[in-house]
Amino acid sequence: MDVGLEMPKKAGVQERLGDSEKLTLNLGYVDLGRIDLLVREGFYANRSDVIRTAIRKHLDAHDAELRRSSERLTLDLGMRRFTRADLEAAKAAGQVLHVRVLGLASFDHDIPPDLARDAIGSVTVLGALQASAAVKAALADRIH
């Protein structure tokens, strides 16, 4: 059975409402029934609450490994927002940005595709990438 849920992103330690990505997962009927029983008995508000809690506990159990990996890979952790001014400054300085984010990489919607191509050499995002369709298309060959 498919179950949809919203997965909140973390910016630092504090969660912000609206910062989420919708996931779909398949669960067996017995597991789904067990989740429904927890909800019915009042342990959780809904199915998504059960699944979010389980995922957070699992990630917390591997926190040290995740931190070491993100440091080794030199990933920005959390939310990283890129503005038009950021990209213009990089271009003016003759720099090429290599975006590496674990969490959410967000490009403002006023960034023109040609500026994105000029200023960005590569994009690696473990999580979610938010950008206009035109910017995503302009960077398609650089997104890993």
> Tens digit of pLDDT per residue, the chain (144 long)?
444 444 444 444 344 445 677 888 999 989 999 999 999 999 999 999 999 999 999 999 998 888 877 666 678 888 999 999 999 999 999 999 999 999 999 999 999 999 999 999 999 999 999 999 999 999 999 998
Q: Are residues 132 and 109 in the same domain?
A: yes
Q: Residue 66: what pLDDT?
A: 81
Judge whether 25 and 6 are in contact, CB under 8 Å: no
**Measured between alpha carbons, how far is 69 from 57 in angstroms, rounded to an integer?**
18
The domain boundary, picked from 38, 61, 84, lies at 61
Domain around 93: 69-142
The domain boundary, picked from 61, 78, 102, lies at 61
Q: Residue 12: what pLDDT?
A: 41
Q: Are residues 82 and 100 in the same domain?
A: yes
